[in-house]
Structure 1
């Protein structure tokens, strides 16, 4: 195993969800250790419980600092915060687990800012538990933005044959429409364009969704939101030479993106972008926070309380998130 591989800090997420299980399962794959040096920030006892549940036969190794990580197949290196009490039930909302999920992220950000890890990869947290634990954030994206001191970031979902960046995310649809304005649309597109260029796409082809059905159909639907909130941003960026088309009806745009017409789709609100990605399969989707000074990737699914603790959670989304985190870290280097 090369010491030149990037160190990926894997936060354990909500300890009562599937995070511990998918982490253990992922680290049974030798390919992970050929892509990166994985380091879990979480609770060692909970990982040992998950190890027993899934029958992985892994060894959990407690360490205090990233410099102590060995990153050897068969062993899980864990910076052990020791926050989860013995016997905490899987699949049940817990304020203790919600607070712990926050603490894992906070420690990972400290490590990333100190350049002790090269990227952060997050297992899922539960927003209700996070709030119950005293941390009032809509989700990982907003939490990471505040911890890193970045005023504005974007959520990008990546699935086979589809990349989607969101203008708004965890707010209600009425609030989302109110929040969308040309400056925000422009900055979101710029962040997405820059990310794809860093990933090796020289001139990304970007398709922009409308807000209303049929992208307003020239004023037949809605109250001119496309012309007021989206068109000015597109015009500015087209004048700068970006390859942008829109606003387009979301239903046809996603179809065209899936067949390869676009490198990136700009969705206006949460479900407009998440729906098509999740139809393609939760096991293949990855969430990337765009605009942070640190690299962050994540699974594109939740804590799955209904199956947590049963050993049946699918680790493929985490495997892909680790792969993409390592790739982004390599490109930054």
Structure 2
């Protein structure tokens, strides 16, 4: 009986071997490898097309004109856009999470792209720091412009407090707008925090930073096409991380354009928004079309893609 039971138990014991485990693992790994190859091929195709588009003469030479036309004529879309659409709410998620931190997102993504691009091109650390300094210089320009505009707004504007209903009845009943009490000792920030009304001359800082970031991203991303061509001639692969961060930068660029169009269409403020766009254009013109084109002896960091 013991021998029979032992033989019976052996007959029901599964035959597990290393060969079967290897075959099972290979069957599970093959779909994963196929999926990774498919994703990598898609990433290569999409980034190649985007690099070719951003590196074209049409975009590099005329994007600032396209952006200027958008800022000038974008407010006309307010006649066709419904005031009840999702993006007509100033408390929308995109406005709260991205609009107030536009420069932070742009500096992180563009700085990461420059870092990976310089590493892929085997540039020395001094040249890497020189290229990264462009982001820092643009950040100084944005901080300085924001500080100066805030000072000018506080100096030229005035804070008003609406009168209460019982106070308003003492005034003329024919007035179309409610009477206001003047507060001369308030800044714009403290006035708005107190739920009062601020009136004065101002420049849209939101349009300024969105236009500046769009112009900066186009300048920095436009060299990726030439980098791909050079890597192909040397039979070197730029790598998946560089392509992925490039795709993220392009996505961020599209998001900034969408937010700019939403602001112009849903919250038109003429000429505040146009002045913000003009200031961003002057900053880009002075940096990328002016200072960065000078010789290295002038302390300029150089243009994107330069090897000096």
- Bigger relative contact order (CA 8 A; separation at least 6): 2
Bigger radius of gyration among the two: 2
Normalized per residue, which structure has more helix?
Answer: 2
TM-score range, shorter chain: under 0.3
| TM-score of the pair, normalised by structure 2 | 0.23
